[in-house]
């Protein structure tokens, strides 16, 4: 069971820690009574942080049980999707690139 946090591919590295922290908290707050969330929060609570281009990001909005986050320092544009933890995700999640710092 894991929570996926999907960042748009062009988010500056310096914002990623704050955005992902906000994402996991926002997801927990929205889904705190969801059976999967309860199981996840009482377990190991794994998180996966991935990148998505604009097309992938928009396609992932067709999935269920997620929160969209915006960033005020980027003119309130959408920057992140975070999905309520679950055992299995659709196949498209397997093809997302894991996030690594881009501005090393």
- Token readout for 81 is 């999707």
Per-residue confidence (pLDDT) for residue 36, from 0 to 100: 97
- Token readout for 104 is 């090393």
Per-residue confidence (pLDDT) for residue 104, from 0 to 100: 60
Per-residue confidence (pLDDT) for residue 102, from 0 to 100: 80
Residue 80 near residue 6, CB atoms below 8 Å: yes
pTM beyond cutoff 0.75: yes
Q: Where are the domains of the chain?
A: 2-98
Strands 2-8, 77-83: parallel, antiparallel or unpaired by DSSP? antiparallel
The highest-level CATH class for domain 2-98 is alpha beta
Tens digit of pLDDT for each residue in 14-26?
999 999 999 999 9
DSSP assignment of 55-98: HHHHHHTTSSSEEEEEEGGGTTEEEEEEE--BS---GGGGGSEE
Provide the Cα torsion 39, 36, 3, 70; round to 10°: -120
Give the chain's residues under pLDDT 50: none
Per-residue confidence (pLDDT) for residue 19, from 0 to 100: 97
């Amino acid at each position: 069971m894991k929570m996926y946090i999907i960042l748009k591919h062009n988010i500056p590295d310096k914002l990623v820690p704050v955005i992902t922290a906000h994402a996991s908290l926002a997801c927990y707050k929205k889904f705190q009574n969801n059976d999967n969330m309860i199981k996840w929060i009482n377990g190991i609570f794994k998180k996966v942080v991935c990148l998505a281009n604009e097309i992938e990001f928009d396609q992932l909005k067709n999935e269920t049980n997620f929160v969209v986050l915006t960033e005020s320092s980027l003119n309130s544009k959408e920057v992140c999707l975070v999905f309520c933890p679950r055992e299995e995700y659709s196949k498209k999640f397997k093809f997302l690139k894991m996030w690594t710092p881009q501005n090393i």
